[in-house]
């Protein structure tokens, strides 16, 4: 394995060495008092990173899709109506999962590269009785970032639970769960949470927990049943061990370290850093004449960017960029998969990583025959990065 490539995809991401070191400590018994201390701290800090002091955190072995599954299986019952604000691949996936558990799903979409307007969502919410409104904060297939604050307000106004897929957003893109009234939000460890893949994190508001308690039908999942996990999470948070299914002990060590690092930076500073890095990167791509999947700069995510290949240059660009030391991701949205690429810029990224990435893309473009003023993208990005 080449040790010096830079992993700039939308998860898994380049990690802080301290997180990896923490994971290499001896595996404790999951029911030891020492591990209960560690897991208890993690749960407390998950609330802080999600900015939801009164929310109920859940941390389980699994990926982001498990978190989606948990949100759906616990909060819809057969025949419930769910509205999905669809901005790409993960909106499609959420609709499919909700349908699997018996929800009647309506989807609101816009043209590829655009976000459905709030007015359209409100028109639908006011025309029927929806149990739940699901939105992908940052859809990793399009790089679009939704107005979660506005959507959560609408959901509350029309009595629907707001469910936010923050898998490519949480801890990078600004999200204030409690202040914005988001009921359920979730992410996975390998995205902006900055830990290796393997953990699903979900925080449910007290209102969501009440709705769960009032549920009539049995939850169709066993491992995903939040009623099984609730006492476990509560007991661990009191620094006592409990058992339902074995937690991935060493990943929890890694998560403890990454949460500590984020909170030491402060969530406001962390959101601001992501925003400046995202805007600097997007400005540099624009300066180099590249077109991004989102039509409007205001709709672009802080955590990742989706960019069309220039004409006559296709996926071979990624191999050239990799030869320059930076790993990028190909397309994911089925309608345009071979026409664009994706760059992740979340987690412990700073000017060094983003400038290296821009330089590697510039060089890759030049060696593909693209006409470009050398250093232009770097200069444009650097101007913005000086604000950090």
Instruction: List residues near ligand PLP by CB under 6 A.
Output: 10-11, 63-65, 90, 136, 139-140, 165, 167-168, 188
Quote the least distance from Cβ 372 to ligand PLP, whole Å. Answer: 30
For ligand PLP, give the closer residue by CB, 36 or 145.
145
Tell the smallest beta-carbon distance from residue 128 to ligand PLP (Å): 26
Cite the DSSP H helix spans in the chain.
Answer: 17-23, 33-49, 64-75, 89-100, 118-127, 148-157, 177-180, 206-213, 226-237, 249-265, 267-287, 316-323, 351-367, 376-385
Q: Which is nearer to ligand PLP, 241 or 344 (CB)?
A: 344
C-beta closer to ligand PLP: residue 41 or 69: 69
Cβ proximity to ligand PLP: between 40 and 195 the closer is 195
We find the least distance from the C-beta atom of residue 90 to ligand PLP, in angstroms, to be 4
CB of residue 359 to ligand PLP, shortest distance in Å: 26
Residue with nearest beta carbon to ligand PLP: 64
Q: What are phi and psi of 149, to 5 degrees?
A: -60, -50
* Shortest Å distance, C-beta 116 to ligand PLP: 16
Closest approach, Cβ 42 to ligand PLP, in A, equals: 18
CB of 27 to ligand PLP, least distance (A): 23
Element (H, E) at 108: strand 104-109
Give CA separation, 329 vs 67, 75, 312, 332, 356, in Å.
Answer: 23, 33, 19, 9, 16
Reading the block at residue 323, the tokens are 């030869």
Instruction: Report the candidate in 307, 9, 306, 336 with the shortest Cα–Cα distance to residue 145.
Output: 306
The rounded distance, in Å, linking the Cα atoms of 153 and 156 is: 5
**CB distance 168 to 303 below 8 Å:** yes
Residue whose CB is less far from ligand PLP, 165 or 257: 165
Q: Which is nearer to ligand PLP, 144 or 378 (CB)?
A: 144
CA atoms within 13 A on the CB side of 290: 29
In sequence order, which residues have a C-beta less than 8 Å from that of residue 252 and are 6 or more positions away? 35, 38, 39, 42, 59, 199
Measured CA to CA, the distance from residue 127 to residue 301 in angstroms comes to 30
> Which is closer to ligand PLP, CB of 132 or CB of 355?
132
């Amino acid at each position: 394995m080449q040790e010096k490539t830079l992993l700039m995809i939308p998860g898994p991401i380049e990690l802080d060495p301290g997180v990896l070191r923490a994971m290499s400590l001896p595996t404790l018994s999951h029911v030891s008092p020492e591990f209960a201390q560690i897991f208890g701290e993690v749960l407390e800090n998950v609330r802080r990173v999600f900015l939801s002091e009164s929310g109920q955190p859940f941390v389980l072995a699994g990926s982001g899709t498990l978190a989606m599954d948990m949100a759906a299986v616990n909060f819809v019952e057969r025949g419930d109506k769910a509205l999905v604000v669809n901005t790409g691949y993960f909106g499609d996936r959420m609709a499919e999962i909700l349908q699997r558990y018996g929800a009647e799903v309506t989807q609101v979409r816009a043209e590829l590269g655009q976000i459905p307007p709030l007015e359209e969502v409100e028109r639908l919410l006011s025309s029927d009785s929806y149990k739940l409104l699901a939105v992908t904060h940052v859809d990793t297939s399009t790089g679009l970032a939704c107005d979660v604050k506005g959507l959560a307000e609408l959901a509350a106004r029309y009595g629907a639970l707001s469910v936010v897929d923050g898998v490519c957003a949480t801890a990078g893109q600004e999200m204030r769960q409690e202040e914005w009234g988001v009921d359920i939000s979730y992410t996975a460890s390998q995205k902006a949470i900055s830990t290796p893949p393997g953990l699903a994190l979900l925080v449910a508001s007290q209102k969501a927990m009440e709705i769960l308690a009032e549920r009539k039908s049995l939850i169709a999942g066993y491992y995903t049943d939040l009623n099984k996990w609730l006492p476990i999470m509560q007991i661990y948070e009191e620094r006592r061990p409990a058992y339902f299914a074995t937690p991935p002990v060493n990943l929890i060590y890694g998560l403890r370290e990454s949460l500590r690092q984020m909170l030491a930076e402060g969530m406001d500073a962390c959101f601001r850093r992501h925003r400046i890095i995202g805007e600097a990167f997007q400005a540099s791509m624009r300066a180099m004449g590249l077109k991004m999947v989102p039509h409007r700069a205001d709709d672009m995510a802080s955590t990742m960017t989706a960019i069309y290949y220039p004409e006559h240059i296709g996926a071979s660009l990624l191999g050239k960029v990799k030869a320059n030391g930076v790993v990028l991701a190909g397309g994911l949205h089925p309608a345009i998969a071979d026409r664009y690429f994706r760059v992740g810029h979340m987690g412990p990224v700073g000017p060094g990583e983003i400038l290296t990435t821009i330089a590697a893309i510039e060089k890759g473009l030049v060696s593909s025959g693209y006409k470009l003023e050398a250093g232009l993208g770097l200069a444009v990005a650097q101007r913005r990065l000086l604000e950090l």
